[in-house]
A and B are shown apart, each in its own frame.
Chain A
């Protein structure tokens, strides 16, 4: 790891100021960033820790929705239970020690194509709250490791509306524990949303054909034989693009079945 300066501000405003330097980088729980630094794939001059900002911690229940502070760790989301499918998802990220450090804001800012949280944010129609604005999940995810965030912009919170029913099914890549394919299905007041992670070269995406079928008939039978086009699916040593496309269909049917 190349050396860097370390800062730990206690307010969002101070963190934004510290991130004003273009070679500064925000540090959430570090469960992705520290391994990345060890591989010398990044060389920030300053790391700005977000772990000392109390206003970015914790979960509040507003009745129809919950607000999760950007620096809230996976273990706290897992034990919350206000949205069961979201808590189940958080409780199966990585392993217990990773869940005690990794944060929701860090995961969403990184937008790893195989991470779990992006599918929940997109599937539930969450709103990403930053130090300057609110971004709808539909506008936030812009491809593999790419988001609508500007340089130095911090995810301070995530607002998540409560669904009528929801479920997440993850086909785990057994070595990394990331999703080989993960599907988050949510039945919301605005219709059914199906968000897929791990599969596409474009990162998390909504499977609109499945949504249309499920809006007509919310049952696994409505998706019989369906799978997205294998073109554009990730192909690597863990699975071909056709295999991943097939898994999307299987995991979506399992998620729908588990909703009802």
Chain B
């Protein structure tokens, strides 16, 4: 066991981990931040996406030890200080960008990473960026709408269902 320390959602967090402890496991089991979901555990589905030093990564395919000293942001840190939904979260609610909600933490974190680099993505760029995030409910259409809305763009420009 060795100790890791990281800044998670703005707060310092430490814990003892084994070499094999995954970042997803550390967040969920040590820090009880269970908003980061583990869907496939094979880096296909993207439900576990968090930001490490500002970059979207699949936390099921990164060792906790690799994040020692890093800044980690998870879905729990996305809401505004008063607890209200942030722009992306609100857009997902407004445009019904989720059904069961399992993939949503990863979708929101991937969206945040996309909009940081590309504040006004096209529909094609959104669909391309979400290649590593799988949703089995929505057919993606309302997720794409939500992201168009979150980036302040006209949702009506998306092709009709």
Contacts and interface: CB of A to CB of B under 8 A. Distances in A.
Contacts of A94: 132
Contacts of A49: 63, 65-66
In which size bucket is the chain B interface? 20 to 34
Given A3-B20, A34-B61, A98 B2 contact: no
Contacts of B115: none
Interface string A28-53: 00110011011000000001010100
B65 A35 contact: no
Contacts of B18: 3
A35 B22 CA distance: 11
A75 to B, nearest CB: 7
* Chain B interface, DSSP helix/strand/loop, else mixed: mixed
Nearest to B22: A34
A34 B131 contact: no
B3 to A, nearest CB: 12
**What's the interface size class on A, roughly?**
20 to 34
Interface string A93-129: 0111110110000000000000000000000000000
Contacts of A97: 43, 46, 49, 56-58, 110, 132
A13 interface: no
A225 to B, nearest CB: 34
B132 A101 contact: no
Contacts of B101: none
A177 B65 CA distance: 28
Nearest to A175: B44
B155 interface: no
Contact of A101 (B19, B22, B57, B68): B57
A60 B132 CA distance: 30
Interface in A81-99: 94-98
B132 A51 contact: no
B129 A31 contact: no
Nearest to A37: B20
A34 B61 CA distance: 6
Q: Which 3 A-B pairs have the closest CB atoms?
A: A95-B132, A6-B19, A100-B55
